[in-house]
Amino acid sequence: MLKIEGLTATVDGKPILKGIDLEIPSGEVHAVMGPNGSGKSTLAYVLAGREGYEVTGGSATWDGHDLLSMEPEERAAAGLFLAFQYPVELPGVGNATFLRTALNAIRRARGEPELDAMQFLKLARQRMRELSMPEDMLKRSVNVGFSGGEKKRNEILQLALLRPKLAVLDETDSGLDIDALRIVADGVNAMRGPDFAALVITHYQRLLDYIVPDRVHVLMNGRIVRSGGPELAKELESEGYAAIQARAA
């Protein structure tokens, strides 16, 4: 279970998160929705431990681990995965090398044997077929020259390979056409189960037609202003954030 209590954080000294309370039990998928600039990515980065995102109060624990005191790689080893809103390019680093290095780092942390090049390729090819990704994406440099959709699919491929226990997906739907959206959603849905929890950050309701969340939270100006069932997303879609804000105020 992910448990966030009274979490506050600043960026460049500016308060962005102003007291977040959120619980996601294992087995559940929660959506966080909110207008641009409301602090969604900041929440994701704080959970993953990015430099420059300074926690000023509150706590965040995952299965009893104090996430906030851990290095980013320790959080990854504990099962946290962040699908980036803007996946990062690594020129010259082959995607296959990157994926295998990451997978073996995670496997080491779990006490599992590392995969050699052949074993890895077999696994990667299988996952890529499931995600309808062309195999040549393994040979290209990580995210370099990838289209927006390819980058997002590459994030989902990593999710499928690393099989985390807690996934934070930051606007994985933005910039995807409807077919790509379905593939990405299938990738996430395939992970669902009693040992998996996800925080799905999105700006639009559309993704939630494919990944049906257990709960929906509305983040505005660094605070969760409303929580509800999947129907809350629909309400947002028709009424807009302004109406919600007016009511919450």
Partner 1 sequence: MSVTTETLQTVQSVTEGTYKWGFETDIEMEFAPKGLNDDIIRFISARKGEPEWLLEWRLRAFKAWQAMSEPRWAAVKYPPIDYQDAYYYAAPKQRPKSLDEVDPELLRTYEKLGIPLKEQEWLAGVTTSPDGTERAPVAVDAVFDSVSVATTFKERLEKEGIIFCSISEAVREHPELVRKYLGTVVPPADNFYAALNSAVFTDGSFVYIPKGVRCPMELSTYFRINAKGTGQFERTLIIADAGSYVSYLEGCTAPMRDENQLHAAVVELIAHDDATIKYSTVQNWYPGDAEGKGGIYNFVTKRGACRGARSKISWTQVETGSAITWKYPSCILQGPDSVGEFYSVAITNNFQQADTGTKMIHLGPRTKSTIISKGISAGRAQNTYRGLVRISPRAVGARNFTQCDSLLIGDRCGAHTVPYIENRCMSAKVEHEATTSRIAEDQLFYCRQRGLSEEDAVGLIVNGFCREVLKELPMEFAVEAQKLLQISLEGSVG
Contact footprint for Mg ion (CB under 5 A)? 40-41, 85
DSSP characters over the chain: -EEEEEEEEEETTEEEEEEEEEEE-TT-EEEEE--TTSSHHHHHHHHHT-TTEEEEEEEEEETTEEGGGS-HHHHHHTTEEEE-SSPPPEEEEEHHHHHHHHHHHHHHHTTPPPP-HHHHHHHHHHHHHHTT--GGGGTSEETTT--HHHHHHHHHHHHHHH--SEEEEESTTTT--HHHHHHHHHHHHHH-STT-EEEEEESSSGGGGTS--SEEEEEETTEEEEEE-THHHHHHHHHHHHHHHHHH-
Q: Does 40 bind ligand ADP (CB under 6 A)?
A: yes
Among 37, 66, 117, 132, binds partner 1 (CB under 8 A): 117
CA atoms within 13 A on the CB side of 100: 19
Q: Interaction with partner 1 in 42-61: which residues (CB under 8 A)?
A: 48, 50-52
CB of 46 to ligand ADP, least distance (A): 9
Q: Of ligand ADP, partner 1, Mg ion, none, which one does residue 105 interact with (CB within 5 to 8 Å by kind)?
A: partner 1
Q: How many residues does the chain have?
A: 249
Residues from 41 through 100 that contact ligand ADP (CB under 6 A): 41-42
- Partner whose binding site includes residue 37, from Mg ion, partner 1, ligand ADP, none (CB under 5 to 8 Å by kind): ligand ADP
Q: Which is nearer to ligand ADP, 11 or 123 (CB)?
A: 11
Q: Which of 26, 59, 61, 101 binds partner 1 (CB under 8 A)?
A: 101
Size of the site for partner 1 (CB under 8 A): 35
36 interacts with ligand ADP by CB under 6 A: yes
Q: How far is the CB of 15 from Mg ion (least distance, A)?
A: 17
Q: 34 or 87, CB closer to ligand ADP?
A: 34
Judged by CB under 8 A, which of 84, 146, 196, 241 binds partner 1? 84
Q: Return residues touching ligand ADP (CB under 6 A).
A: 11-12, 16, 34, 36-42
